[in-house]
Amino acid sequence: MLHFDREPAFVLKRTPYKENQYLIDLLSLNHGKIRGIARIGKQKTHRETENFAPFRELAISGQQKSELAQLWQSDILQSYNISGKNWLSASYVNELLLLYAAPETDAQLYRLYQTCLQYPNHAHLRQLEWYLIRELGLIPEREQHAAYYQIHAQEGWLLLQAAKQGFAHELVSALEAEHLLLEHPQLTAYLQSLLRHHGNTPRSKQTAHALLQLLRS
């Protein structure tokens, strides 16, 4: 049984569960991803509260006996005022973590996520994507040296095959040396291509719209 008392955690997703409950997906500082059930105080229905809204850092208390934790207290540590393009970026990051982050994560991912909410810029988004790629073991192998490469999946492995056009050699070589070329024009496409080969593509616009509708309801 896992007990947590005022554990720092970010809300990644909330889903109406029962009349006065939410199903909550959290990224916690010390216990990784947590899925739990949270009651809503004295409000009549879940549509009359902003409790457990995404993009908030909470101090949560509860326990986990089975797959779903029971959350019985939460206090807001910090709220992030996110709007416009930053809303899309933050929603994209939430979906990245829901799709790709392992249940057992470390404090580094928590700090990377926190930085993305504070400063949702190109550099921090790419750093978080790169962290997930390394954790998932998605760095592809090269069959040979070439000026350009295309990514191919073969028997569960990712391979870089020589091509007339595609991802440039200097980008691939730098990432193999664990150096992010943040100014390289192909970096975003390359990292997101690796993640797509692992699972479903995050759909930031749809996610952002759904979250916005939920918060407004």
Q: What is the CATH number of the domain that holds 41?
A: 2.40.50.140
> Do both 149 and 68 map to the same domain?
no
For the beta sheet containing 167-168, the strands, ordered from the edge strand earlier in sequence to the opposite edge, are 141-142, 157-163, 148-154, 167-168
CB 93 within 8 A of CB 54: no
Task: Give me the residue label for tokens 């207290």.
Answer: 73
Q: For every residue of the chain, which 3-state class applies, written as one string?
A: CEEEEEEEEEEEEEEEEECCEEEEEEEECCCEEEEEEEECCCCCCHHHCCCCCCCEEEEEEEEECCCCEEEEEEEEEEECCCCCHHHHHHHHHHHHHHHHCCCCCCHHHHHHHHHHHHCCCHHHHHHHHHHHHHHHCCCCEECCCCCEEEEEEECCEEEEEEECCCEEHHHHHHHHCCCCCCCCCCHHHHHHHHHHCCCCCCCHHHHHHHHHHHHHC
> Do both 100 and 7 map to the same domain?
no
State which residues form the domain around 58. 2-79
pLDDT at 214 over 50: no
pTM equals 0.86
pLDDT (tens digit, 9 = 90+) per residue, 28-84? 999 999 999 988 766 555 455 677 889 999 999 999 888 899 998 889 999 888 888
> Do both 6 and 102 map to the same domain?
no
**In total, how many domains does the chain have?**
2
> Do both 100 and 29 map to the same domain?
no
Nearest-angstrom CA–CA distance, 53 and 185? 35
> Do both 114 and 68 map to the same domain?
no
Question: Which of 47, 79, 111 is the endpoint of a domain?
Answer: 79
pLDDT (tens digit, 9 = 90+) per residue, 120-170? 999 999 999 999 999 999 999 998 899 999 999 887 789 999 999 999 999
pLDDT at 189 over 80: yes
pLDDT value of position 216 = 45
